Amino acid sequence: MFFFRFFLPALAQAQAAAVDTVAAPAPASPATSPLTFYDFVDGYFGYDFADPASHTRPGFLYSHNRTNEFALNQGLIGARYQDEHVRAALGLHAGTYPEANYAAEPGTFKNIYEAYAGFRPTAKTWLDVGVFTSHIGLESAISKDNLTLTRSLLADNSPYFETGARLTYEASAKLTLTALVLNGWQNIRDTNRGKALGTQLQWKPTAKLLLNSSTFFGNEQPQDSARRYRYFHDFYLTYAATDRLSLAVVFDIGQQRRAPGPGVDTWHAGAAFARYKLSGQWAATARAEYYYADHGVLIAAVAPTPTAPNFLVRGASLNLDYAPAPHVLARVEGRVLHGRALLFTDAAQQPTRTYGNLTTSLAFSF
């Protein structure tokens, strides 16, 4: 009798409480804000084996280009807004990277990382106008997002940023098409009255493979009368071979009309990357690369003379990454370059064909 009088009512109450608990609706999750903030700080120390007394690296290296001193490659802070219909971004930065890459820009323009506004003309398109990251190349200005600490020769000598209008069409979950009208090859303020054109196609046939094709066409001479049209194509693919091994291949080719006289100058460059994840915090990346340019076009001079020597450099590097926390990345990279001509200077201030450096970086982002 004791059992029926006390245990059964208690059991009934427990079952009712359980039903109420199951039936109670889950609390609504907070809505995601369309406004986000970001920052990135990349401090580094570089050492050159050939000429340790110098504080500058060869003129065609723009990323992490100071040596034998502690320096800030990029300090970046910005905000982005995006909802279903409109988006905008504003990012400001300082450091040796904008000093080198924005040298031709006036005043405060040097401090603009991105500044654009856009809207959706249709459900699958975006139209953006302003300053934005380049549609060319695998590697970006933010070093933590790249496979190696320093940028490859072909990446350092193609645009980091662009100014103009871009129309992006999301054809499907696997295919994105972009058309651009630009002030030119890595310009904020235009150097002539002409406008450049660009395209980009990104195709991801599988979850592991991405293929990219980008083009550029425009006159990149400072005077409208001295027209030397530039034609350029960038191709790269990335492939996640396994959970630990990632591969990438990049190939660029371009031509620019030669003057005086008929003909064109051609340049082409390539790079291959292999990244292996050693553990949850450690990863290593090997890179092989080369860069060839008729008469040093683009990499040595915007408008070279027909008698200028051809440019050829080959190189290799090994990069080691350590991520002690989700927002922190420590990197060290050793790099060797070898030129066909005497392009570099040794410790005795004598010309040499071989150049080597070591770069370390500690980066923070959120």
pLDDT digits (tens, 9 = 90+) for 292-316: 999 999 999 888 888 899 999 999 9
Is residue 104 in some structural domain?
A: no
Is residue 92 in some structural domain?
A: no
Largest CA distance in the chain: 114
Which has more pLDDT, 19 or 44?
A: 44
Is residue 219 in some structural domain?
A: yes
Is residue 10 in some structural domain?
A: no
C-alpha 365/C-alpha 255 separation (Å) is 38
CB-CB contact of 77 with 38 (8 Å): yes
Residues 6+ apart with CB under 8 A from 362: 42, 43, 44, 328, 329, 330, 331
Confidence band of 194 (pLDDT split at 50, 70, 90): confident
CATH number of the domain to which 230 belongs:
2.40.160.10
pLDDT of residue 27: 52
Is residue 241 in some structural domain?
A: yes
pLDDT of residue 111: 96
Is residue 77 in some structural domain?
A: no
Summarize pLDDT for 45-75 with one digit per residue, the tens. Answer: 999 988 777 889 999 999 999 999 999 999 9
Q: pTM above the 0.75 mark?
A: yes
Is residue 31 in some structural domain?
A: no
**Burial of residue 85 (number of CB atoms within 10 Å: 0-12, 13-18, 19+):** exposed
**Taking phi first (over 0 means left), then psi (-120 to 50 degrees means alpha), and beta for anything else, what does residue 362 get?**
beta
Cα-based angle 12, 15, 20 (whole degrees, multiple of 5)? 125
Give residue 293's domain range: 123-365
Is residue 235 in some structural domain?
A: yes
Q: Is the pLDDT assigned to residue 193 strictly greater than 50?
A: yes
Q: Is the pLDDT assigned to residue 139 strictly greater than 50?
A: yes
**Domain total in the chain:** 1
Residues 6+ apart with CB under 8 A from 200: 135, 176, 177, 178, 180, 212, 213, 214, 215
Residue 41's nearest CA partner among 284, 282, 329 is 329
C-alpha 90/C-alpha 219 separation (Å) is 28
Q: What is the mean pLDDT of the chain?
A: 90
Least confident of 75-84, 165-174, 340-349: 340-349
pLDDT of residue 307: 87
Q: Is the pLDDT assigned to residue 18 strictly greater than 50?
A: no
pLDDT of residue 8: 37
Summarize pLDDT for 279-295 with one digit per residue, the tens. Answer: 999 999 999 999 999 99
Which has more pLDDT, 199 or 3?
A: 199
CB-CB contact of 141 with 363 (8 Å): no
